[in-house]
Amino acid sequence: MDLFDRHRQEITEAEAPLAARMRPRTLDEFAGQSAIIGSGRLLRRAIQADQLSSLIFYGPPGTGKTTLARIIANTTKAHFIAINAVLAGVKEIREAIAAAQDKRGMYNQRTILFVDEVHRFNKAQQDALLPWVENGTVILIGATTENPYFEVNKALVSRSRIFQLKPLDEAGLRQIVQQALTDGDRGYGKLNVQLAQDALDHLVNVANGDARAVLNALELAVETTPPDVEGMIQITLAVAEESIQRRAVLYDKEGDAHFDTISAFIKSVRGSDPDAALYWLARMVYAGEDPRFIFRRLLILAGEDVGLADPNAIVVVNACAEAFDRVGMPEGRYPLAQATLYLATTAKSNSVMGFFDALSTVEQEREAEIPNPLRDGNRDKQGFGHGAGYLYPHAYRDHWVEQQYLPSSLQGQVFYQPSDQGYEAKIQTQVARQREAQLAALVENTAVAEVLTFSPTNSTQERWLQRTLSQVGDQLAQVRDRVFALAPPQRHHVILDVNAGSGLLTWEAVRQVPEGGVYACVQTEQDAIALQEQAAALPELQRPIVLQADLVELPQRLAQQVPGMHCDRIIGRNALLQTIQRSQTTEGSDPISLLTALADLLSSPGQLILAETMPRYTQRLYQLLERDRLGTRLYNRWVKAEEAIYQNPNDPFVNWDVAELTAWCQAAGLTPEIHLEMMTTEIRITPALFNRWFSPGSDRPSYQDHLSQSLSEAEISKIREALINALNQQQVQWSSAIAFMQAQPSASNSLNTK
């Protein structure tokens, strides 16, 4: 760059719009998007560690896509090249690739290629870029306002990590305005600008989450308002309203906003929410959506989701559509709103979907012959008997007669299932009674004629039965799925697994939060090594961060590892159970202390989800043996001795229940919701299991030790022999109770700690 180029660049930067001058230069200056660049998040760690892979930033205008790329350019040691897909072509791509190859060959330096508006590249241009991204010559960072899954080459998408940026919230926009007013070098810090509160509220509200829009409006307001006699520039509400008058709505008639908004509208109407339906309708009309398109969707909904629950629905909507064609806009909005409200408030039924069940049967089943009575008898009734036996319904009472209309192989098949909504409720009983009569007629009329034939196997039913029989499942997998179903995490969340152990919950967390972070706490070095060895197969930035610490030490260790970090989800399996077990030997290890510490680690709003096995409700061994194998007297003594194990007031490991768990949570400042679920799994009773039950215990008393408190050695031996004779190597259904706890900081505790 020569002297003239540098001078030209300095003038350009000085005369650039406020939005360009105020672009953040570091992550600390960046406002908003904490979901992807907040403390502990994957993208922030990748930028700080300069370990970026190919990325695509997707989001509406003014949310910081280009700014993040500029911040990466300021922090990375890699060579940074920026091009705009609107202006660039294959020639510019080749030049960038050549520069990247030179940097790698001469200086062993990586190259980051930033492509703004990457969706504007055509297929040939994207294909030209693909091999160089694939072999690592360049690290691609793309920015786009369009859904990359639709607008960007699938091969490029599959090799990139996609981060979705959301519109900024009000706090972020206010922070940006404040920065512009106080920055003396790039903003208006050297001017005496007085921005009224209501003017600021208007700018932030109408900007609609767009940082560029709020800065452009602020710039227009300041630059066009002369200072008063004291040199102060007064930005009043009137000035702000002139600077930004109409909210910019992101709405592309062929993009995500179009499809997402019409989807929200239809789902609101289907869900009978007239308020939401009117809101989404207003969003579409305000953005310029074609009302005829909306009417087409409403006509479809009248058939699909209302149907016979209100046969007039499709008539009303069609009449409204015709009225719209007559009056046009803007008055046409009245019939548009009327059709929407009618469908949103009427009864719903999707029984017409029975047609698609019939269509599926036609596609899958062998074509069945049309029954003789239903055939056309006008041409060959004499030769083939077509139409013979047909019963004319109008000749019978109520214009209906018990007659079969389905092919023989489909007799009894049900496609239409009337709902109990609206008008359809009136015909539900009628249809059911007619079907019963038809089935009775089928038995009476075909018992002799088909004595040598059998109905074909219902393959659909057979598959369903087989699927049901095979749903035994693994209990641990059920627990894992239940934990994540209680409070599904978002892709950018930070998750802490407080009792990772083998990693059952940890690996599922890694899959579910690819843009967030996962921290796994284990108590033993062996578990830590095992988790780290399994994680080695993952890219470094995707690996869970393993912390070896006792549960009581976990908050301190986590604060040392990532200062100031709070978790969106804290999960665990049998963390409290382990704490209770250790409470008898370790000072400060108790459930309330652990729950209090975990509550302090939660973000607002965060969720604590624990799955805790409750020994108090576990399977009893005496339930697996028939009473007569021991005799009533010994069996009753055995029952009493085993039940005493779980009623011992001095053993906290087995005597706690849901009420006590609720009290612990409340004492820790948490509001819990607890579901106790009995889970059954099939286990094999092996000699090793018998040995565990009937051998002296080490850390805790064994089953035999407990029984010896009430039974003699001879009685225990007799019980063991009876169990072995009855159950050895047998599969039994083993039930256990698991408390699924979902808790969050109570309102008062949240105010005090966050």
Judge whether 735 lies within some domain.
no
DSSP string, 493-525: -EEEETT-TTTHHHHHHHHH-TTSEEEEEESSH
Supply the DSSP symbol for 408. G
Could you tell me if 125 and 107 lie in one domain? yes
Question: CATH number, domain at 105?
Answer: 3.40.50.300
| Cα 151–chain centre separation | 23
Place of tokens 């299932």: 417
Q: Convert the pLDDT of each residue in 709-738 to its tens digit.
A: 889 999 989 998 998 888 887 778 888 889
- Comparing 177-186, 187-196, 432-441, the range with the smallest average pLDDT is 432-441
Could you tell me if 544 and 635 lie in one domain? no
Could you tell me if 639 and 692 lie in one domain? yes
| Enclosing domain of residue 103 | 33-164
Could you tell me if 358 and 304 lie in one domain? no
Could you tell me if 603 and 627 lie in one domain? no
Secondary-structure breakdown of the chain: helix, strand, coil percentages, each rounded to the nearest 5: 55, 15, 35
Judge whether 237 lies within some domain.
no
Could you tell me if 521 and 427 lie in one domain? no
Place of tokens 């510490």: 597
The residue among 457 and 636 whose pLDDT is bigger is: 636
Residue 45, pLDDT above cutoff 80: yes
What are the start-end ranges of the E strands in 52-120? 55-58, 79-84, 111-116
Gap between the Cα atoms of 149 and 152, Å rounded: 6
Could you tell me if 484 and 575 lie in one domain? yes
Judge whether 58 lies within some domain.
yes
Domain boundary pick from 164, 198, 215: 164
pLDDT band at 63 (very low <50, low <70, confident <90, very high): confident
Could you tell me if 606 and 692 lie in one domain? no
**Quick check: 115 and 142 in contact, CB under 8 A?**
yes
Domain boundary pick from 164, 179, 197: 164
Could you tell me if 367 and 272 lie in one domain? no
Gap between the Cα atoms of 17 and 13, Å rounded: 9
| Plot region of 82 (φ>0 → left; ψ -120 to 50 → alpha; else → beta) | beta
pLDDT band at 570 (very low <50, low <70, confident <90, very high): very high
Note the pLDDT of residue 319: 93
Judge whether 41 lies within some domain.
yes
Gap between the Cα atoms of 604 and 752, Å rounded: 12
Domain count, the chain: 5
Gap between the Cα atoms of 75 and 71, Å rounded: 6
Judge whether 587 lies within some domain.
yes
Gap between the Cα atoms of 442 and 435, Å rounded: 10
Average pLDDT of the residues of the chain: 79
Place of tokens 């900024």: 168
Could you tell me if 479 and 607 lie in one domain? yes
Gap between the Cα atoms of 442 and 421, Å rounded: 30
Question: CATH number, domain at 398?
Answer: 1.10.3710.10
Residue 458, pLDDT above cutoff 60: no
Q: Please give the average per-residue pLDDT across 274-296, as a whole number.
A: 85
Domain boundary pick from 141, 164, 187: 164
Q: The whole model's pTM is what?
A: 0.55
Judge whether 187 lies within some domain.
no
How many percent of the chain have pLDDT more than 70? 81
Could you tell me if 72 and 91 lie in one domain? yes
